[in-house]
Chain A
Amino acid sequence: MFERILIWLQGYYIIRFDVNDIVQILNICNVSGIMLNSVKDEGDVYSARVNLKDFKNLEKACEKFGLTFDVKRKCGLRVFLDKCFAEKAFLAGAFLFAVLLFLASNISLEIKIKSVGDLMYISESEILQLAADCNIEKWRFIPLLDFDLAEEYIKTSSPYISFVGIARRGTEIVIEVKERKLLEAEEKPLPYGNIIAQCDGTIQNIFVLEGTALVETGQQVTAGQILISGERNGLPVPAEGIITAKVIYQGKAVVPFLQEKFYDTGLQANSLYLCWGNMAQLVIAGEADAPFEYFVSTDEKRKIEFLGYEMPFFLVQRTYTEQKVQQISLSYQEACDAAAELAYYQALSQLPLIGSEIVSKSLEISDNEAEAEAVVSIEVIRNFGIFKPHD
């Protein structure tokens, strides 16, 4: 079967031998490597098929031995194509067919909308309308359509769309759309739990939305105490409510009257190091240790380049500046002011960043022979209570 198809594809001649004895021809073909197919005895004549390649060899062989044959018919695909290509009408038709095929395969026959999940805020018809504004609709010549422009247009035209991708699949145009997640976040059910006190304080106001209040206005509470219980009529509920409380934050600072202060003497010493990353350093000049008891040091790094390439090691020049200690004596007022300021900032640093209102401040100063002590109390009203789910 395969052999027949192959012969048909190659093209063949049906030939007729008008001889009494075909055996001689067949033996010649066998010796000459000429392939003959379908050799039949048709009474007076013999017919056979020979492919185009072997036909010339057969002609030569028969000429050599004085044998003759007639070509009855030329067959096969190659022969058919040769005939066709010889016709101008066929060529024109083939060209027209190719052009029509190209055109037909480049016409949009369907517009399809694909979305990630169901469309909630915008309908398919609205998307199709937006696409149609950019000429993306049925019966359009696809190579002339600008998908990038259309994507941008659809995305900017609708506030509900966060992503648009337009792609071609054969004669189908697929518009992939992803909707923007609007702020209406999905409400997740809260777990069951209580609202507890964040720190010590006095309840100023309590407004229960869910659960049971266990404290009342004016009550002193400690950190961790349950303010609103996550339970109602014996059933667990997620406690919810707004609680404000008065909380006192304290800051404490001690400033001695006699203080030590460092100043520069002006003396300096330099050292030079060769460093290899942060791993190793080698002293090239100067001393490895600082020559002063009190000092500050500064480093200056210098990269080393060779032929424009930066080397993996570098030089560090370290400068030591000598410091001396000086005893300074503060007055009573200066020490108290410094202590008060430090205590105030310490107290202030404990306040929550938002949701607090300073109600009052107080300062207490005490002193002894050596130092002044300041205690600052800041009273604030703040949102109080955090949700703690049941274990």
Chain B
Amino acid sequence: MEKFADLIVNTLELPSEILSDMPLLTLKGNQNVTIENYIKLVNFSDNNVSLLTGQGILNINGSNLQIACIYQGQIRLTGLINAIILEAENV
């Protein structure tokens, strides 16, 4: 199934995140990050936000972290971001 999705994406030259379960991160400096395509929130605190994605656990570490907006598979975090770590499943 994944191969079929890849075939469509490659044939139609679509952005790869459309059909795959890959998370899409948009980082604006070190104060704003938007994550799309995540599965669920695992942890939320002042200095850590963990998200389960199709690729594994995505950890965002920082301070004064808060969720600016959470809505339909999209989450925008603000605060001082120190690290973004993806703990990939297949490693």
- B-contacting residues of A (Cβ < 8 Å)? 3, 22-23, 26-27, 29-30, 33-41, 48
Contacts and interface: CB of A to CB of B under 8 A. Distances in A.
Residue of B45, B46, B72 with most partner-chain A CB within 10 A: B72
B90 interface: no
B66 A36 contact: no
B72 A30 contact: yes
A303 to B, nearest CB: 77
B71 A23 contact: no
Interface of B: 40-46, 65-73, 75
B40 A41 contact: no
A27 B40 contact: yes
The 9 A-B pairs with the shortest beta carbon distances in the complex, nearest first, are A39-B67, A35-B71, A40-B66, A41-B46, A26-B41, A36-B70, A27-B40, A23-B41, A37-B69
A18 to B, nearest CB: 15
Contacts of B41: 23, 26-27, 30
29 contacts: A3-B69, A23-B41, A23-B42, A23-B43, A23-B44, A26-B41, A26-B44, A29-B70, A30-B41, A30-B70, A30-B71, A30-B73, A30-B75, A33-B71, A34-B71, A35-B70, A35-B72, A36-B69, A37-B67, A37-B70, A38-B66, A38-B67, A38-B68, A39-B44, A39-B66, A39-B70, A41-B44, A41-B45, A41-B65
The main secondary structure of chain B at its interface with chain A is strand
A33 B72 CA distance: 5
A5 to B, nearest CB: 14
Contacts of B46: 41
A23 B40 CA distance: 9
A36 B44 contact: no
B70 to A, nearest CB: 5
A48 to B, nearest CB: 8
A34 B67 CA distance: 14
Contacts of B73: 30
A22 B67 CA distance: 12
